Structure 1
Protein backbone atom coordinates (compact mmCIF):
# COMPACT_ATOMS: atom_id res chain seq x y z
CA UNK A 1 0.00 0.00 0.00
CA UNK A 2 1.43 3.33 -0.94
CA UNK A 3 1.08 6.27 1.36
CA UNK A 4 -0.41 9.56 0.30
CA UNK A 5 1.63 11.21 3.02
CA UNK A 6 5.11 10.92 4.56
CA UNK A 7 6.06 8.38 7.21
CA UNK A 8 6.42 11.29 9.63
CA UNK A 9 2.79 12.26 9.01
CA UNK A 10 1.75 8.58 9.25
CA UNK A 11 3.42 8.28 12.65
CA UNK A 12 1.78 11.48 13.91
CA UNK A 13 -1.66 10.34 12.73
CA UNK A 14 -1.26 6.92 14.35
CA UNK A 15 -0.11 8.50 17.63
CA UNK A 16 -3.30 10.59 17.72
CA UNK A 17 -5.75 7.82 16.77
CA UNK A 18 -6.78 6.91 20.34
CA UNK A 19 -7.37 10.55 21.32
CA UNK A 20 -9.20 11.49 18.11
CA UNK A 21 -11.29 8.32 17.74
CA UNK A 22 -11.65 7.12 21.32
CA UNK A 23 -10.45 3.67 20.27
CA UNK A 24 -7.02 2.05 20.43
CA UNK A 25 -5.35 0.59 17.34
CA UNK A 26 -6.07 -3.05 18.28
CA UNK A 27 -9.80 -2.22 18.30
CA UNK A 28 -9.52 -0.68 14.83
CA UNK A 29 -7.54 -3.70 13.62
CA UNK A 30 -10.33 -6.00 14.85
CA UNK A 31 -12.91 -3.85 13.07
CA UNK A 32 -10.94 -4.18 9.84
CA UNK A 33 -10.47 -7.95 10.34
CA UNK A 34 -14.20 -8.40 11.00
CA UNK A 35 -15.32 -6.03 8.24
CA UNK A 36 -15.89 -6.75 4.57
CA UNK A 37 -13.05 -8.52 2.78
CA UNK A 38 -12.00 -5.86 0.35
CA UNK A 39 -8.93 -6.64 -1.72
CA UNK A 40 -7.64 -3.09 -1.96
CA UNK A 41 -6.45 -0.96 0.92
CA UNK A 42 -8.20 2.14 -0.41
CA UNK A 43 -11.51 0.23 -0.37
CA UNK A 44 -10.90 -0.73 3.27
CA UNK A 45 -10.04 2.87 4.15
CA UNK A 46 -13.20 4.17 2.44
CA UNK A 47 -15.32 1.56 4.23
CA UNK A 48 -13.69 2.36 7.58
CA UNK A 49 -14.24 6.09 7.10
CA UNK A 50 -17.86 5.67 6.00
CA UNK A 51 -18.81 3.00 8.53
CA UNK A 52 -17.18 4.64 11.55
CA UNK A 53 -17.33 8.35 10.71
CA UNK A 54 -13.57 8.83 10.42
CA UNK A 55 -11.80 11.27 8.17
CA UNK A 56 -10.24 9.57 5.17
CA UNK A 57 -6.76 10.54 6.43
CA UNK A 58 -7.18 8.72 9.74
CA UNK A 59 -8.90 5.76 8.09
CA UNK A 60 -6.08 5.40 5.54
CA UNK A 61 -3.45 5.68 8.29
CA UNK A 62 -5.19 2.97 10.35
CA UNK A 63 -5.46 0.66 7.32
CA UNK A 64 -1.81 1.24 6.43
CA UNK A 65 -0.75 0.47 10.01
CA UNK A 66 -2.93 -2.65 9.97
CA UNK A 67 -1.15 -3.83 6.81
CA UNK A 68 2.27 -3.18 8.37
CA UNK A 69 1.31 -5.24 11.41
CA UNK A 70 -0.08 -8.07 9.27
CA UNK A 71 3.14 -8.26 7.27
CA UNK A 72 5.31 -8.37 10.40
CA UNK A 73 3.14 -11.11 11.96
CA UNK A 74 3.66 -13.34 8.93
CA UNK A 75 7.45 -12.99 8.75
Structure 2
Protein backbone atom coordinates (compact mmCIF):
# COMPACT_ATOMS: atom_id res chain seq x y z
CA UNK A 1 0.00 0.00 0.00
CA UNK A 2 1.32 3.41 -0.86
CA UNK A 3 1.54 6.23 1.63
CA UNK A 4 -1.20 8.80 1.14
CA UNK A 5 0.59 11.47 3.18
CA UNK A 6 3.18 13.75 1.61
CA UNK A 7 6.74 13.34 2.85
CA UNK A 8 6.42 16.57 4.83
CA UNK A 9 3.19 15.39 6.48
CA UNK A 10 4.84 12.06 7.27
CA UNK A 11 7.78 13.80 8.99
CA UNK A 12 5.42 16.08 10.94
CA UNK A 13 3.35 13.10 12.03
CA UNK A 14 6.48 11.26 13.21
CA UNK A 15 7.62 14.29 15.20
CA UNK A 16 4.29 14.38 17.08
CA UNK A 17 4.10 10.66 17.90
CA UNK A 18 6.34 10.78 21.01
CA UNK A 19 4.23 13.56 22.52
CA UNK A 20 0.94 11.84 21.68
CA UNK A 21 1.93 8.32 22.71
CA UNK A 22 4.59 8.82 25.38
CA UNK A 23 6.98 6.56 23.46
CA UNK A 24 9.83 7.40 21.09
CA UNK A 25 9.74 6.39 17.41
CA UNK A 26 12.57 3.93 18.04
CA UNK A 27 10.35 2.17 20.60
CA UNK A 28 7.52 1.88 18.10
CA UNK A 29 9.83 0.62 15.35
CA UNK A 30 11.14 -2.01 17.75
CA UNK A 31 7.54 -2.99 18.60
CA UNK A 32 6.81 -3.56 14.90
CA UNK A 33 10.06 -5.51 14.49
CA UNK A 34 9.38 -7.72 17.50
CA UNK A 35 5.64 -8.02 16.88
CA UNK A 36 3.89 -10.76 14.95
CA UNK A 37 5.25 -11.70 11.52
CA UNK A 38 2.65 -9.83 9.51
CA UNK A 39 3.33 -9.27 5.84
CA UNK A 40 0.81 -6.73 4.59
CA UNK A 41 1.05 -3.03 5.45
CA UNK A 42 -2.56 -2.79 6.63
CA UNK A 43 -2.15 -5.88 8.83
CA UNK A 44 0.71 -4.18 10.66
CA UNK A 45 -1.31 -0.98 11.00
CA UNK A 46 -4.30 -2.90 12.36
CA UNK A 47 -2.08 -4.77 14.81
CA UNK A 48 -0.59 -1.52 16.18
CA UNK A 49 -4.06 -0.02 16.49
CA UNK A 50 -5.57 -2.99 18.31
CA UNK A 51 -2.57 -4.00 20.42
CA UNK A 52 -1.36 -0.52 21.38
CA UNK A 53 -4.51 1.58 20.92
CA UNK A 54 -2.87 3.93 18.39
CA UNK A 55 -4.73 6.29 16.11
CA UNK A 56 -4.86 5.17 12.48
CA UNK A 57 -2.61 7.99 11.23
CA UNK A 58 0.04 7.32 13.85
CA UNK A 59 0.04 3.58 13.21
CA UNK A 60 0.25 4.18 9.47
CA UNK A 61 3.18 6.60 9.86
CA UNK A 62 5.05 4.15 12.11
CA UNK A 63 4.62 1.24 9.71
CA UNK A 64 5.62 3.39 6.75
CA UNK A 65 8.76 4.55 8.58
CA UNK A 66 9.53 0.96 9.55
CA UNK A 67 9.24 -0.12 5.90
CA UNK A 68 11.42 2.79 4.72
CA UNK A 69 14.18 1.97 7.19
CA UNK A 70 13.99 -1.75 6.44
CA UNK A 71 14.34 -1.06 2.71
CA UNK A 72 17.31 1.25 3.37
CA UNK A 73 19.06 -1.49 5.38
CA UNK A 74 18.67 -3.89 2.45
CA UNK A 75 20.46 -1.43 0.18
CA UNK A 76 23.56 -1.29 2.37
TM-score using structure 1 length? 0.92
- Equivalent runs, 1:17-32 vs 2, <5 Å: 17-32=17-32
The number of residues matched between the two structures is: 75
**3-state SS of the aligned residue for 1:49?**
helix
Which stretches in structure 1 are left out of the alignment for 5+ residues? none
Q: Render the CA deviation track for 1:2-30: whole Å, top value 9, x for unaligned.
A: 11222221111001111111111111111
- Equivalent runs, 1:1-75 vs 2, <5 Å: 1-75=1-75
TM-score using structure 2 length? 0.91
Which stretches in structure 2 are left out of the alignment for 5+ residues? none
Write the distance in 1 (CA, Å) between the matches of 2:73 and 2:25: 15
